């Protein structure tokens, strides 16, 4: 069935809507609206689900449609597709966050990679249980945090001595 993934995501909402309808049959236009599909797809689904044609109108008994949609909602294809879409949505959101983070430029010194704790500016003060940074704006704060992180990375043991080892690190 072509473009199955597009209407599968509407199955749960369609079932909820069908439970509130009182009509004994569902026509093609209603199925289109319930599943967000085009006319030809609705006709194919109605035939597949046991619908019939009365004059020029395609109909399917509401209970039969509910049974078919519940069968689909309990099937492997539906579960695979919903989990695939969830993974895709999560990856897209992660990519959006990553792109937004990459747009942030932090001005850094050319010698940042070799920064040591003793080379930190006077605006960064470390002591046991305390960190103080004096900054002029957000960019300045980010720059100083980058310097601090690089210095900690380069001299982690010295950093632990300066701020005091945490109780959870065994010390």
pLDDT value at residue 166 = 60
| Residue 37 shares a structural domain with residue 76 | yes
pLDDT tens string 158-170: 999 888 876 555 5
Eight-class DSSP state of 110: T
| Residue 46 shares a structural domain with residue 123 | no
113, two tokens: 């990679």
| Residue 117 shares a structural domain with residue 82 | no
Domain assignment present for 96: no
pLDDT tens string 28-42: 999 999 999 999 999
| Residue 131 shares a structural domain with residue 81 | no
Q: What is the pTM of this model?
A: 0.54
Q: Say what the alpha-carbon torsion angle 112, 113, 119, 121 is, to the nearest 10 degrees.
A: 30
| Residue 72 shares a structural domain with residue 126 | no
Which of 40, 34, 21 shows the shortest CA–CA distance to 72?
34
Domain that holds residue 155: 112-165
* Count of domains forming the chain: 2
Which of 2-6, 37-41, 124-128 shows the lowest mean pLDDT across its residues?
A: 2-6
| Residue 10 shares a structural domain with residue 56 | yes
Domain CATH code at residue 59 = 1.10.10
pLDDT tens string 47-102: 999 999 889 889 999 999 999 999 988 888 888 888 888 899 999 999 999 999 88
| Residue 79 shares a structural domain with residue 9 | yes
Interior/surface letters 99-127, b for 16+ CB within 10 angstroms, e for the rest: eeeeeeeeeeeeeeeebebeebeeebebe
Q: Estimate the share of the chain in helix, then strand, then coil, as percent rounded to the nearest 5.
A: 60, 10, 25
């Amino acid at each position: 069935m072509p473009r199955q993934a597009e209407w599968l995501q509407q199955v749960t909402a369609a079932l909820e809507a069908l439970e509130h309808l009182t009509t004994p049959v569902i026509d093609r236009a209603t199925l289109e609206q319930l599943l967000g599909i085009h006319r030809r797809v609705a006709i194919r689904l109605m035939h597949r689900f046991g619908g019939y044609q009365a004059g020029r109108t395609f109909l399917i008994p509401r209970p039969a449609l509910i049974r078919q949609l519940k069968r689909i909602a309990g099937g492997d294809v539906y579960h695979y597709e919903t989990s695939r879409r969830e993974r895709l949505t999560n990856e897209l959101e992660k990519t959006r966050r990553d792109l937004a983070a990459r747009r942030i430029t932090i001005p850094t010194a050319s010698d940042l990679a070799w920064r040591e704790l003793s080379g930190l500016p006077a605006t960064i003060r470390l002591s046991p249980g305390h960190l103080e940074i004096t900054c002029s704006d957000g960019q300045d704060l980010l720059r100083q945090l980058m310097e601090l992180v690089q210095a900690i990375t380069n001299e982690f043991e010295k950093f632990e001595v300066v701020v005091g080892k945490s109780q959870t690190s065994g010390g």
